[in-house]
Structure 1
Amino acid sequence: MNEQVKELTPQTLMSSSNRLIEIHITQARLRALRLVAFTGAVFPGEWSVQWNEAIVPDLLEFGFHARKVNEFCGLMDEEFGPIDVRIVKISEGDPGIWETNYRNALNALMHMQTFSIGHVHADHRRIFLAAESNLIATYIKVSTDRFPEVTISLFGLVDCFLNRVLQKVREKHPQLRF
Structure 2
Amino acid sequence: MIRARYALLLALLAAPIACSSTPSPDAPTQPLARGPRVFFSYETLDGGTLSTDTVAGRFSVIAFVATYDDSSHAQARFLSTLVRRHVPRINAGLVVLEPPHHKLLVESFAKVVDPPYPVAMADEATIEGAGPFQGLHHVPSLVILDPQGREVFRNFGLASADALDAALRDLERGKAPQTNAR
TM-score range, shorter chain: under 0.3
- TM-score normalised by structure 2 residue count: 0.27
- TM-score normalised by structure 1 residue count: 0.27
Bigger share in helix: 1
